[in-house]
Structure 1
Amino acid sequence: MDKAVIKSCLGSWHVRVGRTVDGVLSFEEGWEEFVNHHGLKLGEILIFKHNGKRAFNVVAYEALGREKRKKPSEATASSTSRTSFACTMKKSPDHPTCTNP
């Protein structure tokens, strides 16, 4: 499939968009860089806003609901981040539901 641009307060990433056997869209190449750069951990939340075609704005929140606005230290990011996430995208007013396999 094509590439999408994901933008956050920490920068922007070009991520390949794929489709699973079940037809669910997924972020692939480039997604791991995004996850590592944000130091994402289990229980944290991403809110995506689709800006048309292949552009998304995303806001990351810690498990307690605080917005993540700083890049974590390299030691923290490499030891705590997860690169495998599954997201089901739905049209508004529903929010995406994400799980960690």
Structure 2
Amino acid sequence: MRKTLNWREFRALCEAKSQKYSREFVVINPWEPTSQVCSECGYKWGKLDLKIRSVQCLNCGTEHDRDENAAKNINKVGRGHCHDSKRTRIDRKTTSVAS
């Protein structure tokens, strides 16, 4: 029977593999609001219900898949780019897009 890995073991394996192949392994803050910020303009729309799978930013008009947007933001944060809080203070709301 195959053992199921827990998160710590998975992370350790990823770190070891990264080291073996001379790759950089970066850990970001687990509380980083990656699904709450537009990956194009940095506008922060805040928490969304998990059933909302796509959003359209009213600041820049970009339509995002929730998970793809979060992945782009994780990549940015991992490379040292922070969410710009000055650009996120626009008084507009982001709406969910009907699928």
Compute the TM-score of the two structures, normalised by the length of structure 1.
0.26
**Higher helix residue share:** 2
Larger Rg: 2
Q: Which has the higher contact order (CA 8 A, sep 6+)?
A: 2
